[in-house]
Structure 1
Amino acid sequence: MTENARYSRPGEDAGERLDRQWGELLQELRLAQTGTQILFAFLLSIAFQSAFQSADAFTHHVYAVTLIASALAVGLFLAPVSFHRIVYRHKLRDRMLPIASRMAIAGLAFLVVALTGGVLLATDVVMSRPVAIALTSIVFVWFVIFWYAIPEWVRRTMPNGTGE
């Protein structure tokens, strides 16, 4: 079975398959973009709070990593839109789709870092630092399992790789 046939639906030609897959990717990105942009905006506001300015170096470092990871996630989630605008009408969707998909996956990786950084920032305020770090580590592992390990396991164990 060819790579193209593997992801086609009955009666679907290559152009229709690419259009459907692009639409599915955009639908997924809409959800990720909105939440990540809200997280980024919230993180930007934290730096200007007087209580935050008196926080220790650890908190400032976690914040910086979290803010940058959030910004990178936003950038990667929006990159397929820019990509599409630049290559629009050049009949490059077959090349654009796998790259845009990788951008989305990388955006999710940065989003995991941003979310767990946010959890660490919040839990470090309400409990001891070692407990906050331990709980945040559990949250990080949870994300990795559900966002990457399980989907990868399912993908690898599907007969003939026919899953979409």
Structure 2
Amino acid sequence: MNTSDGKPRGGAGAEDTDDDRRETESERADRRWTELIQEVRVAQTGVQILFGFLLTVVFTPRYAELGDTDQKIYVVTVILGSTATGALIGPVSFHRIVSGRQIKPQAVVWASRLTLAGLVLLLGTSTAALLLVLRVATDDTVVPWLVAGVVAWYLLCWFVLPAWARYRHTSAD
């Protein structure tokens, strides 16, 4: 969808049409890279702490007491945590490898995609970890409802509200 002057409205890259900044492509890429790295730092810290704790569980005496289903949930959780960690650290590696190659705008796009994938994987990690902990700590009958409620909250905070704000503030003219 375009505005009356033919510029794209909403959708991917909408922030790139902001003429009020009067940035060059390089300046815009630098700004977007800095913003992205600040966002990634928050997510990286959380996923690394969660993943670190997950790695220790298998070495506790309680792990051997877990049933087969809970051990499988644990393995899935560790794999999700590992992949989330990889995706959220990926932008740093990406930047280091392509630095100086004059492709920062493309690097920002790829790093942004890795970050979004990392957030989705972090959602999966948090959900699986919560499922495992609640299965061990509470009555199984309420666990699905508790997990569903928390997942709904994550989805609302991480994806629905930002998507709504993006739509609302880019489609009204």
Output the TM-score relative to the length of structure 1: 0.90
Map 1:11-160 → 2, pairs under 5 A: 11-160=22-171
Quote how far apart the aligned CAs of 1:136 are: 0.8
Equivalent position SS for 2:55: helix
Quote how far apart the aligned CAs of 1:5 are: 4.7
Check conservation: 1:155, 1:161, Cα contact below 8 A: no
Structure 2 unaligned spans of 5+ = 1-6
Range that drifts further, 124-133 or 42-51: 124-133
Quote how far apart the aligned CAs of 1:133 are: 2.0
Matches of 1:28 and 1:10 in 2, distance apart? 21
Matches of 1:84 and 1:7 in 2, distance apart? 25
- 2:24 equivalent to 1:10: no
Equivalent position SS for 1:158: helix
Name the one with the larger helix percent: 1
Identity of aligned residues (%): 35
Quote how far apart the aligned CAs of 1:158 are: 2.0
Structure 1 unaligned spans of 5+ = none
RMSD: 1.9
Equivalent position SS for 1:130: coil
Partner of 2:3: none
Distance 1:109 1:42, change over 3 A: same
Quote how far apart the aligned CAs of 1:135 are: 0.4
Equivalent position SS for 1:90: coil
Quote how far apart the aligned CAs of 1:78 are: 0.7
Matches of 2:172 and 2:16 in 1, distance apart? 11
Amino acid at match of 2:110: I
